[in-house]
Amino acid sequence: MRSGFVSIVGRPNVGKSTLLNAILGEKIAITTDKPQTTRNTIRGIYTKDDLQIVFIDTPGIHKPRNKLGDFMTGAALETFKETDAVIFITDGALDDGPGDRFIIDILKDADTPKIAVINKIDKMEPDRFRKIYEEYEGLGIFDHIIGVSALNGSNVDDVIDAAAGSMEEGPMYFPADMVTDDPVRFLVSEIIREKLLMYMNDEVPHGTAVEIEKYEEKEKITDISAVIYCEKKTHKGMIIGKGGRKLKGIGKSARQEIEALLGTKVFLQLWVKIRDNWRDSDIALSNFGYRQ
């Protein structure tokens, strides 16, 4: 068997989690149009015939503005040292902003095989794609450059094949039917956070965290209680909404997806609490799982 680990890195909001879900053929990483949706590294396990690749979805690499940002960027950069190949995903040219250049400078010094994935080709004119392709080809650091649409699955198989080319003989790290090693409680908390991101339209979601306080599997239903933490009293009111309607909408949407994940009925209770400046608190970050 050939096996190994591949990290997926890039700026915020370029489609890393969407690509991971497309590779696996099912959703294990939350996706929204909000930057910095992914906060932790998430491992997706692809197994087919005599091949097993563990893809590691990482937080978007960006200039940190708080300790949470430090953790997220550090978690992404740390994967460079641990994997057999790196997928660098972008959706634009190098001159579109400094973010890609920062990552490229780090990749230049890494001995790991590198795959450049140009995402969102379904939204690009052919001339623009060709310009971006030639730009990354000219860097001379990538073993493969592949244009994809992670959203509709175009050319995702080419990415898998390129990653497989870097895999060597090794053990089967996980059972063949396993698609992630993340605990169910973590997946549930991420689903709730995704719905929160989708229902809120400003900075509020980035100042929120979700903690599962109760997770009890009963005969015919799973009983879950979760707390949404925010940083300000005004944010709490916005999350709850007039007459509690916004929080109910978040809860209903999350419950439906959690039921699909678990294959059972779910009773979900959501609470909103305030924890001032938790993104700059070492204790709070540790409690919320944002510490290695």
Task: State yes or no: pLDDT of 194 exceeds 90.
Answer: no
pLDDT band at 273 (very low <50, low <70, confident <90, very high): very high
The beta-strand segments (E) located in the chain are: 2-9, 42-48, 51-57, 85-90, 114-118, 144-147, 168-169, 209-217, 221-230, 265-274
Query: Can you tell me the mean pLDDT for 52-78?
Result: 64
User: What dotted CATH number matches 184-287?
Assistant: 3.30.300.20
More confident residue, 135 or 98: 135
Query: Can you tell me the mean pLDDT for 150-167?
Result: 96
Q: What global pTM score does this model have?
A: 0.74
More confident residue, 98 or 37: 98
Task: State yes or no: pLDDT of 4 exceeds 70.
Answer: yes
Q: Which of 34-48, 112-126, 271-285 has the highest mean pLDDT?
A: 112-126
Task: State yes or no: pLDDT of 36 exceeds 90.
Answer: no
CATH of the structural domain 2-169, one choice from 3.40.50.300, 3.40.50.2000, 3.40.140.10, 3.30.465.10: 3.40.50.300
**Per-residue model confidence as pLDDT tens digits over 108-158:** 888 889 999 999 999 999 999 999 999 999 999 999 999 999 999 999 999
Q: How far apart are CA 184 and CA 222, in angstroms?
A: 12
Residue in the structure block whose two tokens are 């400094």 = 98
Which range is least confidently modeled, 102-106, 175-179, 252-256?
A: 102-106
Buried b or exposed e, range 255-267, using 16+ CB within 10 angstroms: bebbeebbeeebe
**Per-residue model confidence as pLDDT tens digits over 9-23:** 888 888 988 999 999
Could you tell me if residue 170 is left (phi over 0), alpha (psi between -120 and 50 degrees) or otherwise beta? beta
Query: Can you tell me the mean pLDDT for 213-225?
Result: 93
| Contact call for residues 276 and 283 (beta carbons, < 8 A) | no
Query: Can you tell me the mean pLDDT for 61-84?
Result: 59
Question: Which segments of the chain belong to CATH 3.30.300.20?
Answer: 184-287
